[in-house]
Structure 1
């Protein structure tokens, strides 16, 4: 950014803050028509220091920080998980973190801007993609190793300011319905691993939601949008361990375990547990589906919520790992929320 453009952005930002002081930085960026990373880089409402990548190098060092809070989000769901970054594998374009608390899948191809940020006294490390949209944020907590945090920032900090220029992300060509629904159904019924689902969508050049609509109600069944609240309420009442996936184009963040404290705040339905928070804007949910996939370990069912743009907002499974069958209580719960039987 040129100096004048920074000054202009700061002035516009300050006027917005004066008019609407309670807006969060993501909302302020939307109102101003700029990427969130542009506000961070310009120091609009925050103090920031650019960090030198690549993102993989930063990620490999996150394990030194001790316990932190990891946050990933999309437009309609925010996933917050407390814990430590353990078993970090971040060498190539795809990375993973496989700790018992922080569980991530990273797709580094689109990551571009990185900052150490202080906002209202709260410190974080923030990762943004080529669009300038937030991919992932790491927040310091009372349990974080302060010396390690400071050393991390010092190691990667730079005095330069890379201009934030929003670039669109490449998107694969996909249709809203398959050319051959019968062939898609046959392929689906032959799946042996849930991870093969993405390859199937690419092979048939169909969107995820288009595939759900095409394969039949025993494999993908639309349910009411109130189903997510019923599911979470039942899971909380029975201490049923679940998995909750929230993703954006650069990352998938996963919680595994029970949920307990459920709170409605306006359009947001929230899980507010000690180590896991989920904030879900249920007003943005346009369709909800129970999805049923065969694997070598038996059938695996999920509850998936979609927005008006056809993108997946949040996905829930029963707790499981490869080689481990689905929890019967989870299967029974989802089947009880369906009007039609699922394939078994």
Structure 2
């Protein structure tokens, strides 16, 4: 993925022309071909028409998410460079927070990090099937952090209310910061024993990132340092094997896909897998997943001790260390340990070199 320069973007007229010339291209793919931030492609259509109309919005989640709650049932989408997750539901249960916030509605389960929500737009795009309406939020570099697409049963009065309350028609043209590079794996062999000792003392999986940060490590670096029984490296095909195993066995799981600004979670079964070229797709009612399998460089089976039993996960990383997705057993509030998921995990191929 190229890294656009700070503040730079092609001329809006050129962006609109590129969209007209390739109307079926996904915004992110088209923006990458043009070496432009995705948000610039959207901003080029502010007040312009050309089959697509965009309106700048207040991007703060505390303002935006409650208004999205007035849209009734919608499709929520979060992605990173390698994976896309889409779920259907309502934004009804909103918990605000300055540093972290949550939506915990059936079908829409989000962890939101507001400081990365820098730009937002309402978008109306003319398609052969009618007008497609969406709310799209972007970070300071212009990369999408979260999108919301209206469905046939969504509330159009709520849509107009959102645009009226949060629209900024006179907002200046956006400037964009350089894309922050992905942090490579950070470990410290001299602290490996301390890491394992502190890992064994965990009582909640949410303590993990605080622990590794205190040790000047990060997630992937800690996995490489800890080794068994905490982290076991799996063959790259373990992601497909996990999803296939879940589809075959029929029990629910939790799939986490995110970026710096938002993590979206599917909690439920996985019914079918549809490979297509480099993409591995789940196309279930109310839940879609699109994974670039060819970009999975490392997969880890991770066990974190908690008061409610050990939490097991399968986690995939790209070659640059970017976290692609995580798959957990379906955890309940009082239970983190999921024997069915453990049994599936034990069928996965473990590579012999579990410590770098």
Do the two structures share a fold, i.e. TM-score over 0.5?
yes
Unmatched 5+ residue regions in structure 2? 1-7
- For the residue of structure 2 that corresponds to 1:79, the secondary structure is strand
Residue in 1 that maps onto 2:72: 66
- Seen in structure 2, the aligned counterparts of structure 1 residues 30 and 56 have a Cα distance that, compared at 3 Å, is same
Q: 1:88 aligns with which of 94, 103, 114?
A: 94
- Seen in structure 2, the aligned counterparts of structure 1 residues 267 and 7 have a Cα distance that, compared at 3 Å, is closer
Residue in 2 that maps onto 1:214: 225
Q: Distance in 2 between matches of 1:11 and 1:315?
A: 38
Q: 2:17 aligns with which of 14, 30, 34?
A: 14
Give 1:49 shift: 0.8
Give 1:25 shift: 1.2
- Seen in structure 2, the aligned counterparts of structure 1 residues 303 and 76 have a Cα distance that, compared at 3 Å, is same
Q: Distance in 2 between matches of 1:133 and 1:303?
A: 26
Give 1:340 shift: 8.2
| Contact map agreement 1:242 1:258 (CA 8 A) in 2 | yes
| Contact map agreement 1:50 1:158 (CA 8 A) in 2 | yes
Residue in 1 that maps onto 2:321: 310
| Contact map agreement 1:89 1:96 (CA 8 A) in 2 | yes
Give 1:186 shift: 0.7
Residue in 1 that maps onto 2:247: 236
Q: Distance in 1 between matches of 2:166 and 2:108?
A: 22
| Contact map agreement 1:221 1:338 (CA 8 A) in 2 | no
| Contact map agreement 1:184 1:204 (CA 8 A) in 2 | yes
Residue in 2 that maps onto 1:124: 134
Residue in 1 that maps onto 2:201: 190
| Contact map agreement 2:53 2:123 (CA 8 A) in 1 | yes
Q: 1:290 aligns with which of 301, 312, 320?
A: 301
Q: Distance in 2 between matches of 1:33 and 1:97?
A: 33
Give 1:45 shift: 6.8
| Contact map agreement 2:87 2:286 (CA 8 A) in 1 | yes
Residue in 1 that maps onto 2:272: 261
User: Does residue 1:280 correspond to 2:291, yes or no?
Assistant: yes
RMSD: 2.3
- Seen in structure 2, the aligned counterparts of structure 1 residues 212 and 53 have a Cα distance that, compared at 3 Å, is closer
Q: Distance in 1 between matches of 2:179 and 2:29?
A: 21
Q: 1:138 aligns with which of 145, 148, 151?
A: 148
Q: 1:74-118: per-residue Cα shift (whole Å, max 9, x none)?
A: 000001000001210124231101112100000001211110002
Q: 1:100-153: per-residue Cα shift (whole Å, max 9, x none)?
A: 210000000121111000223211001111111111000000121121122212
User: Does residue 1:330 correspond to 2:333, yes or no?
Assistant: no
Q: Distance in 1 between matches of 2:341 and 2:286?
A: 22
Q: Distance in 2 between matches of 1:125 and 1:22?
A: 19
Q: Distance in 2 between matches of 1:15 and 1:70?
A: 26
Residue in 1 that maps onto 2:4: none
Tell me the TM-score normalised to structure 1 length. 0.91
| Contact map agreement 2:185 2:220 (CA 8 A) in 1 | no
User: Does residue 1:34 correspond to 2:36, yes or no?
Assistant: yes
Q: 1:172-206: per-residue Cα shift (whole Å, max 9, x none)?
A: 98862224111001111111111011101210111
Q: Distance in 2 between matches of 1:170 and 1:322?
A: 35
- Seen in structure 2, the aligned counterparts of structure 1 residues 172 and 128 have a Cα distance that, compared at 3 Å, is closer
User: Does residue 1:113 correspond to 2:119, yes or no?
Assistant: yes
| Contact map agreement 2:85 2:290 (CA 8 A) in 1 | yes
- Seen in structure 2, the aligned counterparts of structure 1 residues 6 and 167 have a Cα distance that, compared at 3 Å, is closer
Greater alpha carbon shift after TM alignment, 143-152 vs 259-268: 143-152
Q: Distance in 1 between matches of 2:10 and 2:336?
A: 58
Q: 2:52 aligns with which of 40, 43, 46?
A: 46
Q: 1:14-42: per-residue Cα shift (whole Å, max 9, x none)?
A: 25763x55431111111211111111111
Tell me the TM-score normalised to structure 2 length. 0.88
| Contact map agreement 2:78 2:85 (CA 8 A) in 1 | yes
User: Does residue 1:319 correspond to 2:330, yes or no?
Assistant: yes
Q: 1:34-58: per-residue Cα shift (whole Å, max 9, x none)?
A: 1111111111873201112433111
Alignment length (residue pairs): 337
Give 1:323 shift: 1.9
- For the residue of structure 2 that corresponds to 1:180, the secondary structure is helix
Q: Distance in 1 between matches of 2:10 and 2:207?
A: 49
